[in-house]
Chains A and B, each alone.
Chain A
Amino acid sequence: MDEGERVMVRALFLLLVAFSLHADVYQTNCVSCHEKLPVSIDKYFYRYLLNYSSEKDVKRAMLEYLRKPDKQKSVMGESFINRFGVKQKSELSNGDLKKALNVYYETYKVFGKLK
């Protein structure tokens, strides 16, 4: 293995670690809770998509909502809110929220999935 390959392997490894760390933020702080809810986590995603269309707009709207949950701003239906209420304000830092949202978006995005 020459020097170049070694560097590449190291970079790849670091990338994987970084991604798994992000995935961890998402996994521990988002999925773990949502799993227990009767509405699966992807449903929210498609709701956002329906209302905000582009990646940038979707992520921004999600971030805003997570930091400041508001009944008026919710993309979910009225009956849903009435039944489950508005979520708690997220305790995560801005950076962590963004990391978690990136993973969330990558998991459910439509790009590249249509056939």
Chain B
Amino acid sequence: MSASKNRVTDLASSEKQTLFRFASLFALLSIIIIGGFSYMYFSAQRELMLQEKKSTLETYSKQLLQELKFLHVNFDKTQLYPRHEEYESAIFDSDKKLIFSSAPTTLRVDKILYLEDAYVTLVSIAESYYLGAKYVVVKVKDDGVWLKQTRKELIAFNVLAFVFMFVIGYALLRLFLKPMRDALALLDRFIKDTTHELNTPVSTIVANIEMIDKSMLDEKTLKKINRIDIGAKTISNIYQDLTYLTLGNKIVTKDEELDVARVIEERMDYFKSLADAKKVSLSKEIIDSPTLLMDKAKFSKLLDNLISNAIKYNKLKGSIKITLQNNVMSVEDTGVGIAKEHISKMQERYSRFNNSSGGFGLGLNIVSSIAKEYDLKIKIDSREKEWTKVSVSW
């Protein structure tokens, strides 16, 4: 989800996981309920069909018994088993051994009436065992009409039930999400309002500091002015970050062939005073000078965030090294580092793993959203309390 498009639903991965779990559980529950109902309905329909066929089969069974009786009495004269077009039949003795069948039949004594191999089958137990037949099985082919009808009804029911469950699930999900959405919306609204109010004073300060002729100042004042400059630039950076996020893709982009090395130089100049204030040394190693088709403001924003993080989380008298080689730009600092388990969460908005310095936790979220837009790859390596290296490749 793009960071700028729908801020309110920009949920962190742990929240997404919760949602996913909820959705899975709900889907599973729906399937069980709907499946259960479907099975019950199917069984009922089958039972209904069997009961409808039962009386017919009973008639056939009686008819067959009469014929078996006749055959039993006249077995010395005829051994012709009675056959009928309407039904197939089989007879078994009390040991369930097949005596004769007009069609392949297996005997099931656990049920009287059942549907098997597309035959509706009735097993009756004879009172007198004509020709030794205790079990008389008659069966008719199942025309499958009931099955077609039931299937149609079940499909309709399932579709309706799933739609219904989906609507309910969606409503529940919205209800479930509301507090989370509200909290994020509040934060976003607050930032939007704050940035709007910050715009004019910050611009005024920065513009006026730039207008001061520094050669005219004595050392003490120059130092103070420098501090004001640093403070104003910090606010200005935060302001720009927030504007980027709140205005999002409404910012007009103008892609051009960027001289990456030059942009690095420019941004290093811009951050020099900030780095100096923390006694952090900034160095660069530009091995080759690739170009990149990208909006300059966005690339600067990306780089600014990396440098400003490197300064912010660096130790006193630490160093920052920016390297450019083979379409890979990396910013390496000698700072606090990041714990391994936190690296994957670093690009989420408002995530911060260090409380030693202020911030909104927006920086890397902006970096990752810009990177996503231009299909750049971000790689973060770090060793806690030693160093962090963020590489951008294209």
- Residues of chain A at the chain B interface (Cβ within 8 Å): 42, 46, 49-58, 110-111, 113-115
Contact = CB atoms under 8 A, between A and B. Distances in A.
Given A53-B134, A55-B95, A110-B131, A46 B75 contact: yes
22 contacts: A42-B76, A46-B72, A46-B73, A46-B75, A49-B129, A49-B131, A50-B72, A50-B130, A50-B132, A52-B94, A52-B129, A53-B94, A53-B133, A55-B93, A55-B97, A58-B132, A110-B75, A113-B75, A113-B79, A114-B100, A114-B131, A115-B81
B104 to A, nearest CB: 15
A111 B131 CA distance: 9
A95 B134 CA distance: 29
A115 B94 contact: no
Contacts, number: 55
Interface of B: 72-73, 75-76, 79-81, 93-95, 97, 99-100, 128-134
Chain A: interface secondary structure?
helix
Contacts of B76: 42
Contacts of A111: 99
Contacts of B94: 52-54, 57
Chain B: interface secondary structure?
loop
Contacts of A51: 128-129
B126 to A, nearest CB: 9
A56 B97 CA distance: 11
Interface centre among B72, B75, B132 (most CB of A within 10 A): B132
B231 to A, nearest CB: 106
Nearest to B131: A110
A14 B133 CA distance: 35
Contacts of B97: 54-55
B299 to A, nearest CB: 94
Contacts of A110: 75, 99-100, 131-132
Contact of B80 (A42, A49, A115): A115
A54 B95 contact: yes
Contacts of B75: 46, 110, 113
B95 A114 contact: no
A50 B75 CA distance: 13
A54 B93 contact: yes
Contacts of B80: 114-115
Nearest to B99: A110
Given A111-B99, A114-B99, A53 B129 contact: yes
B129 A50 contact: yes
The 5 closest A-B pairs by CB, nearest first: A53-B94, A54-B95, A53-B129, A54-B93, A114-B100
Contacts of B133: 53
